[in-house]
């Protein structure tokens, strides 16, 4: 493989990895505080992409307001899902909420098929992102630079909220002990809603960039990126935001590089993540950066 090819693969992997990271962060935040795998998270990702699609095509909005509106709407959708499908189950066995989230996921997917039809629709990229940048023998899509940059900025913003603000402190407190935090006078439900809102916003951002990168939208587009991003979150250590970021990037690199170096395995591309998941669960279930959870006797 030539160096130029490798550099191209590198940027592709970086892009895919950043997109996984953004989704994975939503999974990890929700799991961190509720111990819930939010299956519907991938579908919020899809909604974000569709909202921008309709904003720019149907309502002829300029890109920036369309994106902002889409992110806000997806964020609201995430909060709504929590309010309707998860909050009533806070005291139920943990698996009930999980089944509920699987139900929500299928509901959103199929509602999208009903409303938007099941046909994939092409997405028009904005002018500045089209064309190819040439550096010597290396040809790079502008998006492969833009996506990682935006993702990085978003993650920094999130880390600032979680680590430096009061609601962020409450979030961290809830992830340690929800009952005690409630007794300390924190409005737990509001903070959980905020968590869903933030996670969904990141997922929507990822969905929008995904739709630009592989320029189309489809009602089931969130399903596989969703699963894989969850695996990325497990890989990085569920509950840890930095872990989710690292896990997402790592998964992006694994997927792109295995296919790049061993093209014979390209048909198995969608299975890599699952194989990786099983290896991780066997070798180090707490992930790369996760904390250990002890079983009490």
Is 230 a binding residue for another protein by CB under 8 A? The answer is yes
CA 8 vs. chain centroid, Å, equals: 23
Ramachandran angles phi, psi of 292, nearest 5°:
-85, 135
Is 183 a binding residue for another protein by CB under 8 A? The answer is no
8 Å CB contact between 171 and 195 = yes
Distance (Å, rounded) from C-alpha 93 to C-alpha 87? 13
Instruction: Work out which of 111, 153, 183, 262 binds another protein, going by CB under 8 A.
Output: 111
Residue range at the interface with another protein (CB under 8 A); choices 13-21, 111-119, 153-161, 196-204: 111-119
User: Which DSSP category does 126 fall into?
Assistant: P
Tell me if residue 162 falls in helix, strand or coil: helix
Instruction: Work out which of 5, 65, 90, 103 binds another protein, going by CB under 8 A.
Output: 103
CA 181 vs. chain centroid, Å, equals: 27
Is 227 a binding residue for another protein by CB under 8 A? The answer is yes
Instruction: Work out which of 98, 140, 145, 159 binds another protein, going by CB under 8 A.
Output: 98
Q: Which is nearer to another protein, 127 or 292 (CB)?
A: 292
User: Which DSSP category does 215 fall into?
Assistant: T
Cα–Cα distances in angstroms (integers) from residue 274 to residues 121, 223, 238, in the given order: 28, 14, 16
Instruction: Work out which of 3, 62, 106, 152 binds another protein, going by CB under 8 A.
Output: 106
What tokens were used for 121? 């629709």
Is 262 a binding residue for another protein by CB under 8 A? The answer is no
Is 274 a binding residue for another protein by CB under 8 A? The answer is yes
Measured over the CA atoms of residue 172, residue 281, residue 87 and residue 90, the dihedral's sign is: negative
Is 34 a binding residue for another protein by CB under 8 A? The answer is no
The residue ranges that bind another protein (CB under 8 A) are 35-37, 85, 88-89, 92, 94-96, 98-100, 102-104, 106-107, 109-114, 117-118, 219, 223, 227, 230-231, 234, 267-268, 270-271, 274-275, 277-278, 281-282, 285, 295, 297
């Amino acid at each position: 493989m030539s160096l130029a090819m490798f550099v191209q693969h590198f940027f592709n992997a970086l892009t895919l990895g950043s997109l996984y990271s953004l989704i994975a962060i939503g999974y990890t935040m929700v799991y961190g505080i509720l111990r819930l795998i939010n299956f519907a998270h991938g579908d919020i990702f899809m909604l974000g992409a569709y909202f921008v699609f309709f904003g720019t095509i149907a309502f002829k909005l300029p890109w920036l307001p369309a994106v902002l509106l889409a992110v806000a709407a997806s964020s609201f959708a995430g909060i709504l899902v929590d309010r309707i499908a998860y909050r009533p189950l806070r005291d139920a066995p943990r698996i009930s909420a999980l089944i509920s989230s699987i139900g929500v996921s299928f509901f959103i997917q199929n509602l999208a098929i009903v409303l938007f039809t099941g046909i994939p629709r092409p997405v028009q990229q904005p002018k500045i992102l089209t064309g190819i940048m040439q550096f010597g023998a290396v040809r790079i899509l502008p998006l492969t630079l833009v996506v990682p940059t935006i993702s990085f900025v978003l993650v920094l913003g999130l880390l600032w909220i979680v680590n430096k603000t009061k609601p962020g402190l409450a979030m961290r407190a809830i992830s340690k002990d929800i009952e005690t935090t409630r007794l300390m006078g924190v409005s737990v439900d509001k903070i959980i809603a905020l968590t869903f809102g933030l996670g969904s916003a990141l997922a929507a951002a990822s969905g929008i960039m995904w739709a630009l990168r592989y320029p189309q939208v489809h009602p089931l587009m969130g399903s596989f990126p969703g699963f894989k991003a969850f695996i990325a979150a497990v890989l990085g250590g569920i509950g840890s935001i930095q872990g989710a970021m690292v896990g997402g990037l790592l998964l992006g690199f694994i997927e792109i590089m295995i296919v790049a170096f061993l093209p014979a395995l390209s048909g198995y591309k969608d299975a890599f993540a699952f194989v990786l998941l099983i290896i991780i669960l066997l070798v180090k279930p707490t992930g790369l950066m996760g904390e250990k959870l002890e079983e009490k006797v």
